[in-house]
Amino acid sequence: MRPYNSQGRKNSRGAGITMNTDNRYKFMAATAFLFLLPFLILARHFLGGNKELEEKDALTYMELRTRIAANISADLLALNYDISRFSASGDFISASGETRKKRLESRINENPSIYSEFSILNAAGKETLKVGPGAAGDLKDYSKTDFFKQAASGRAASGAVEYGEYTPPALVLVAPLLKGREDKVTGFLLARMSLAYIGEIARLMGRNSSGNLGFIDAGGQLISDSLGRSIISPGIRAPAEVLHAVESAGARGLDDFKAKVFFKGRSYLVSVANISGTRWWVFEVVDASKMPGYPAAFWATRVVLTGVLLILIFSFITWKLALLWLQRP
């Protein structure tokens, strides 16, 4: 073969290869794709794992808050909502009706923000004595109410929450007038007490909540909550995701429970804690998609974006090195 062609130029066999610079963008895109594909797959796992850690930390914090609220509420109920000092007192049980009335009125005057009404019921559940702002009304019959039936059959205090349109929820508590377990029950003491203090706990602790913090009674109704739904609609049912968490805790015999709950296509972080001595629960629920931003999430996203930018820069550098090292003069 002749070393020169018909135009007098040297044949390309054995000559240096000239690179086609028109495909430089394709080259850089292909290089970037080859590196970005595995990187983005790993980045997805990285961000997903970071999200799970954030949710775990949030649930732990919510659990701590609900436990604190439950303990505060239990202490408050034991301190101000315990009527056993009267119902189990021999002096009160054996006292005359007028003496009982004076002692109960004195108790209302000591703390009118909690106590609104006291009544003495006979063994059949009918009022025989009533003191308080609403004492002027007719005497009532509580014999058919569930809380009276429970108090009568269990020989122990039982109560229910009343919900009014323009007043805070009230705890109606009935306790047998009983000095000892073997004594005969001759009557019952009924107290109607405002739960405004419970609402204040929800309001104060709910300030720092990213969702809703509140209290529910044994029937699943909202006593109070930080978003004010219990004020707008007294006696409204608690959110379904909260009731699901309470049911899960009850089924497992737990006093507190936290989990990520899925409901109607959305995910929620829920923490519940039982108030000792009651069947009430404190809850906090947060929409998992609306969690506040954490520094860890910001840095994780920043690391991924920085990695993408570096891969694009290295793709350009790879093209330049290819021109420098692979092209012969």
- CATH number for the domain spanning 93: value is 3.30.450.20
Band (164; pLDDT cuts 50, 70, 90): confident
Q: Which of 11-20, 21-30, 61-70, 306-315 has the highest mean pLDDT?
A: 61-70
Average pLDDT of span 269-294? 87
Domain count across the chain = 2
Computed over every residue of the chain, the mean pLDDT equals 84
Sheet containing strand 266-274, edge to edge, reads 222-225, 212-216, 281-287, 266-274, 256-263
Residues 143 and 101 in one domain: yes
147 plus 279 within the same structural domain: no
Would residue 187 count as lying in a domain? yes
Q: Rounded distance, CA 317 to CA 184, Å?
A: 94
Q: Are residues 129 and 278 in the same domain?
A: no
User: Could you tell me if residue 323 is inside a domain?
Assistant: no
* Last residue in a domain, options 194, 215, 244: 194
Tokens of 76: 């408050």
Residue after which a domain boundary falls, among 161, 194, 227: 194
The tens digit of pLDDT for each residue in 138-157 reads 788 999 999 899 988 888 88
Report the pLDDT averaged over residues 231-245: 92
310 located within any domain: no
Does residue 305 form part of some domain?
no
User: Could you identify the residue written with the tokens 């000792």?
Assistant: 276
Last residue of a domain, one of 142, 166, 194: 194
Radius of gyration of the chain (CA): 36
Domain that holds residue 148: 86-194
Q: Is the pLDDT of residue 65 over 80?
A: yes
CB 176 within 8 A of CB 121: no
Q: Could you read off the pLDDT of 198-236 as tens digits, one per residue? A: 999 999 998 888 899 999 999 999 999 999 898 888 989
The reply to whether 216 falls in a domain is yes
- What does pTM read for this prediction? 0.74
Q: Are the C-beta atoms of residues 34 and 314 closer than 8 Å to each other?
A: no
209 and 228 co-located in one domain: yes
Residue 183 phi, psi dihedral angles, 5° rounding: -75, 160
> Which single residue is written with the structure tokens 């290869």?
17
Phi-psi region of 132 (alpha: psi -120 to 50; beta: other; left: phi over 0): left
